[in-house]
Structure 1
């Protein structure tokens, strides 16, 4: 703490932000206690007073800055209705160009004299320069929170960038002031480089290279992006420390050959800042550029550069700029990885160097005048140690945000990362040449040839790895307390190994530490402890695979206009009913698969298909096409065998999934530890109605201990009457899945009175063209006294049954 005061200042800022965001005003009472027991107590009196004043100052800055950033959001929530038309103006600070169109980002937006923070909207064309002040009017749209577990949380994502509103139906666009010439020229240069790369390389490679070199993902192929994420190398796409160090240090060393240190550092610093601005000034880019500038400053001033101090300086700067960066994925991943390098990877790499040096000195005692130098094997092992440590540090954050462990990412990164310098250098050189000079496309293709070979190798190797068994293991989002325990254990184990290495070094050199203590040779038991600690380090990730058995649960996903229901039997069995949507064409990849990853569901034991309408099977087909492990699909005996059904069967066959045809009375049962789970087909269609897919829906009866429920598919009132007349045990049930999304032609009065549910779930899309749920059907259900929940209002619905009590949780509310 004495040597790194920025650590104290960072935690002062951090504490101020957390106290304001959590509204825990009573923590102010803890400040006198912190003043007494804080580590600054070890300082001399003057330093103690000065440090406490700094702590108070930066705590106040964090607290006040958070209040300033939240003020526009508070005003918006209190005074502006969604859909309201407002007149506003703001500064254009970012443009995002994609195939689908262009997005404008405005900051410091003012409407009727009040600040609204930052805003985004979608103009029909690019008509303004960066830095321009724009005036326009538009309809206010709020950002939504994630509607399903594992889904994209637009609200948190945009709020973390101080973007509180999205404007639609924009009109009256007017440019009030001219823009910043440098910003606009850098943006145009970025676009020209992207165009050159896309034209000179195959489409997926051009878009990938543009993302790697200039941070523009507008032309990047979605399949390539998913492939890299699946195998654990997506970090090379984000412009961060790796890119800035390659560009910045390469440029500095080149300039250093002919220039003075100061002039070389100034030139390199200016160019790296401009490069960061051109790449979009993302959180990771700002952090990397800032740390690079601090390293250059240390070189010029002939000071030692401390990466730990630099990371806390940039963290404090970014949090004071925007306290909501705490929730930004780039901030979390970037700083955790850099801190991991500083606090774990580098110290353990240095500890290995000490071990190698002492081993060499022991075997070369008589070799006077010779000095130890790492050989190839030692350099390779050190790189492996550092890479493993970085993976161990980043793993919890990857699991927190992506829910999967890319099993082969360590090996893949060791092979691919050494090529990133060549890729960046060749790609940027060819891109700048093509953007600045009128060069024939044939010559440009020759200049991009090294980049093409490297990218082809990246894609080929990633594709091969993705086909290996257990390439990506879905273990789910870890518990927050488990994350804290993991990082604490990792730091303690790493510190212990570093302490052992330091002890050995001091003993070998007959030196004393800073407290005047001398050291004796390590006993044999310490040698065994080292092995045990190293094994514990490598086994730490096993913690994330240890999961307590899930309790019984029904989860109705918000798939829009469609159905998708997950069942957990409380004994490790995973079941799913339907899974499709007509309002979301990619519901399988956008909703269902992310839900499985979030929950850590490795496979579905039985997937029940009520009928083959697309709003019930479109997502299932996507899941099968992705190669996800679905052990069995169950369909009704009289299911309509239309084109959708044929497509489903083909997808199942290609995935190696068994298809089972169920008839009335077929039962699936599981028993364990005093609990019994049962699913039974109580309706499987009618041979006389082979033209009506809804009428031939598979209807399932569920029993878990004394809890009972019915899943109805899209049956109508006629099928309800048939079931009532044949099945008596569904009377007065606990749970009902409302038939046909709440259609007036289902949920008849006789049916509602007969089943008389305690709780009913209705899967229905907002503002759907069918008018679901019908007013009459809702009225009939409400007359039974049932509590009805709708996915259009609450997002994902989760029902659990604990100690004979029904507990319902809503994702959105």
Structure 2
């Protein structure tokens, strides 16, 4: 082929999928438009007219039709599953993912049986099951019967698919009893064989390697997740942009293919036999890893290359890449919105198309150093393509990434091949396998040490707020224009000339957008307060009119790392002015400790210590510098800029830890906001006696997650809130918020917002009004 036509088709189909995701178009609309255009194209072909552009429009319609069909079917499953919501049910099906550790147990994906005998009695689609214990590693592919409480997922009418829709997850089930395994398997035999081999390999590795290196090796070889105790290492993987080592991708498949091809070459195997054995070996490895999109893409590309080699067809790498992408999108159009899909295709595109350009314009001058230079250019090509994606998803720009990836590529290959070889030999000749794994263990220690050292360099990476979509489009468009200007165009093979003036003007426009967007983002005549959805806990972020940030509480352990830190990084928040802890219950301070390890605060304000276990547990876990701690006292006041103030209204000295919650009052213009921590009736009585005239507030953060013992009638009558915020976990075991409290709030005319229904609740407080945005729809 002279031109990579698959590229045009792939881009058109992707455009159709995106348009369908952002609109409410029905499949019949796309189908009708496709039929009309098809008829027009047929008429044009009869008269000998060109219809190639119409063909591309048809590809857009085909992409939109296929995605809308997928979404309609997913919504049908969600709607059907609503009849099982909050009910205890029994589900029979097949476990289609290996159990993974969570905070309080393990989770796995089960695909319910869809034969006629059980389909009407259980939910449809894939379900996530939560179980407390997993006693063996042979769950994958097993047929099982489980019982537990079912939670349906609410349909999202339009917009970018979330992880549930991408993976086809239609509900969650909390398993109350031990799953009952049934005879036989529910997956094809090759997948079961691959899992059985994997089990034998991992068991031998577990007997030889240190636990931390065992997790690292199986993360590199099979894509298994690391544990919570590896958080420092995971953070440094992100800072060095080497996190892809733990996501089985085309690089890993390439290592396997290269090794198998080398061995077959040494054995002088015939070409056709070599192709068959190479394909079989690679696909068996892909089945052992679970057939995720990155490995599927690599396997599909390998098949395309092998078929082209057999047929002696010369083709462009970009054509093969586009054909692999189309194949995956036909399997599931939601793959387009999956991070691993985006990263793997962006990186492969960079190496295939951007690298030759960089090599041409920055040639190596010496023979031996040229190999290192070419490797650096290849790594840089991949990083240039994935940089906006990393900023968008991880809010991170890694400056050390090209160098770190070059240094780790050979150790990574040795780890993949050596780890597989060692665990395989261990099942045949244990002594030899043990020696190989001991050597790999030392290599993994060196890799871990290098990643931790380089990731903790001050200049290794910098945090960046997520880019708005025009910036992403502008970045890739600018890169494409540069590519188009410096060499013949990849699509039409024609070279274009760009003058310095328009290019300089475009750069200036981009810089103006960058500067002014940041200016208006940080300079606003409003106060922002965000109630973060941290489950059963409290976490409140306040952005003052002067652009500085204050945090009140931080949720439970794990929530700081999983919820608060990603939010801070997404919004480019690198430092906090002050942090307030309302009281010493762990669901308020657990996440604060995790946040302060990554995002420092000028001052941490703590409530007066109490002689109880709650304070002792906090004191044992909290090690922030003494010079940056301060005990709060009633009457403290802080200027937030433009007339806004934050005041410590009360620091109660009561017996109950909840009633010892520090109460904060925020004033801005005519608006007052009252934050009450976990205050309940006794604490409210103290406030009514001490400061009754200062309790009137437009917005109230309801105490103790809205329990029946908070928000009493006298207290609410005095405040008269128009808005009531309740931070609470979905389906929590405490029954929060209480029905009595909700009734009291609504009887007084307060509009209730709950984090379990609304997600993050973002309030922009102007001098006379409050505007609210939430991250998900829900009930009031």
TM-score band (shorter)? 0.7 to 0.9
Pair 1:420–1:743, CA change in 2 (3 A): closer
Post-superposition shift, 1:563? 1.8
Partner of 2:478: 489
Post-superposition shift, 1:393? 1.4
SS of equivalent to 1:478: coil
Partner of 2:4: 4
Partner of 2:165: 159
Q: How far apart are the structure 2 equivalents of 1:24 and 1:491?
A: 31
Post-superposition shift, 1:65? 6.6
Partner of 1:244: 253
Query: What is the TM-score when the length of structure 2 is the normalising length?
Result: 0.84
Residue in structure 2 matching 1:254, options 246, 259, 263: 263
Within-5 A mapping of 1:185-334:
185-217=193-225, 222-223=230-231, 224-257=233-266, 258-334=268-344
Partner of 2:348: 338
Matching of residue 694 in structure 1 with residue 663 in structure 2? no
Post-superposition shift, 1:145? 9.9
Residue in structure 1 matching 2:603, options 632, 647, 655: 632
Q: Which digits, 9 at most, give the CA deviation of each residue in 1:580-621, with x for residues without a partner?
A: 34xxx4222233223322322111111112222223222223
Partner of 1:598: 570
Which structure has the larger Rg over C-alpha atoms? 1
Partner of 1:403: 395
Post-superposition shift, 1:347? 2.2
Pair 1:348–1:64, CA change in 2 (3 A): same
Residue in structure 1 matching 2:636, options 666, 672, 679: 666
Partner of 2:76: 74
Say if 1:118 and 1:163, in contact at 8 Å, map to a contact too.
Answer: yes
Residue in structure 2 matching 1:63, options 62, 65, 69: 65
Partner of 2:417: 425
Q: How far apart are the structure 2 equivalents of 1:794 and 1:491?
A: 40
Post-superposition shift, 1:457? 1.0
Say if 1:474 and 1:602, in contact at 8 Å, map to a contact too.
Answer: yes
SS of equivalent to 1:773: coil
Partner of 2:587: 615
Within-5 A mapping of 1:699-710:
699-710=663-674
Say if 2:759 and 2:774, in contact at 8 Å, map to a contact too.
Answer: yes
Say if 1:96 and 1:218, in contact at 8 Å, map to a contact too.
Answer: no
Pair 1:107–1:429, CA change in 2 (3 A): farther
Within-5 A mapping of 1:88-237:
93-96=96-99, 103=108, 105-106=110-111, 109-110=114-115, 116-121=124-129, 140-143=150-153, 156-169=162-175, 174-175=182-183, 180-217=188-225, 222-223=230-231, 224-237=233-246
Post-superposition shift, 1:206? 1.6
Please say which of residues 267-276 and 280-289 is displaced more in the overlay.
267-276
Q: How far apart are the structure 1 equivalents of 2:461 and 2:493?
A: 47
- Which runs of no fewer than 5 residues in structure 2 stay unpaired? none
Partner of 2:543: 568
Q: How far apart are the structure 2 equivalents of 1:246 and 1:599?
A: 38
Say if 2:37 and 2:58, in contact at 8 Å, map to a contact too.
Answer: no
Q: How far apart are the structure 2 equivalents of 1:231 and 1:605?
A: 28
Q: How far apart are the structure 1 equivalents of 2:488 and 2:140?
A: 52
Please say which of residues 570-579 and 382-391 is displaced more in the overlay.
382-391
Pair 1:714–1:139, CA change in 2 (3 A): closer
Say if 2:94 and 2:185, in contact at 8 Å, map to a contact too.
Answer: no
Q: How far apart are the structure 1 equivalents of 2:338 and 2:30?
A: 25
Q: Which digits, 9 at most, give the CA deviation of each residue in 1:491-549, with x for residues without a partner?
A: 2233334469x9xxxxxxxxxx988x999xx9xx98x999x99x99x999999995743
Matching of residue 579 in structure 1 with residue 548 in structure 2? no
Say if 1:109 and 1:118, in contact at 8 Å, map to a contact too.
Answer: no
Please say which of residues 676-685 and 711-720 is displaced more in the overlay.
711-720
Pair 1:547–1:470, CA change in 2 (3 A): farther
Say if 1:710 and 1:730, in contact at 8 Å, map to a contact too.
Answer: no
Post-superposition shift, 1:348? 1.9
Q: How far apart are the structure 1 equivalents of 2:395 and 2:496?
A: 47
Q: How many residues align?
A: 753
Pair 1:61–1:383, CA change in 2 (3 A): closer
Q: How far apart are the structure 2 equivalents of 1:650 and 1:498?
A: 62
- Which runs of no fewer than 5 residues in structure 1 stay unpaired? 147-152, 361-373, 503-512
Post-superposition shift, 1:137? 7.0
Residue in structure 1 matching 2:717, options 722, 745, 753: 753
SS of equivalent to 2:319: helix
Say if 2:125 and 2:170, in contact at 8 Å, map to a contact too.
Answer: yes
Q: How far apart are the structure 2 equivalents of 1:647 and 1:138?
A: 34
Q: How far apart are the structure 1 equivalents of 2:631 and 2:252?
A: 55
Matching of residue 459 in structure 1 with residue 448 in structure 2? yes
SS of equivalent to 1:160: helix
Say if 1:700 and 1:712, in contact at 8 Å, map to a contact too.
Answer: yes
Q: How far apart are the structure 2 equivalents of 1:144 and 1:350?
A: 52
Say if 1:348 and 1:494, in contact at 8 Å, map to a contact too.
Answer: no
Say if 1:553 and 1:800, in contact at 8 Å, map to a contact too.
Answer: yes
Pair 1:81–1:546, CA change in 2 (3 A): same
Pair 1:229–1:420, CA change in 2 (3 A): same
Q: How far apart are the structure 2 equivalents of 1:304 and 1:9?
A: 20
Pair 1:634–1:57, CA change in 2 (3 A): closer
Q: How far apart are the structure 1 equivalents of 2:413 and 2:252?
A: 8
Partner of 1:371: none
Post-superposition shift, 1:652? 5.5
Post-superposition shift, 1:328? 1.7
Q: How far apart are the structure 1 equivalents of 2:724 and 2:457?
A: 43
Say if 1:161 and 1:322, in contact at 8 Å, map to a contact too.
Answer: no
Partner of 2:561: 589
Say if 1:486 and 1:540, in contact at 8 Å, map to a contact too.
Answer: no
Q: How far apart are the structure 1 equivalents of 2:483 and 2:59?
A: 34
Q: How far apart are the structure 2 equivalents of 1:548 and 1:462?
A: 37
Please say which of residues 266-275 and 381-390 is displaced more in the overlay.
381-390
SS of equivalent to 1:459: helix
Post-superposition shift, 1:326? 1.9
Within-5 A mapping of 1:801-812:
801-802=765-766, 804-812=768-776
Q: How far apart are the structure 2 equivalents of 1:628 and 1:700?
A: 23
Post-superposition shift, 1:394? 0.8
Q: How far apart are the structure 2 equivalents of 1:92 and 1:727?
A: 59
Partner of 1:149: none
Query: What is the TM-score when the length of structure 1 is the normalising length?
Result: 0.81
Q: Which digits, 9 at most, give the CA deviation of each residue in 1:93-115, with x for residues without a partner?
A: 55447695684543774465579
Pair 1:221–1:154, CA change in 2 (3 A): farther
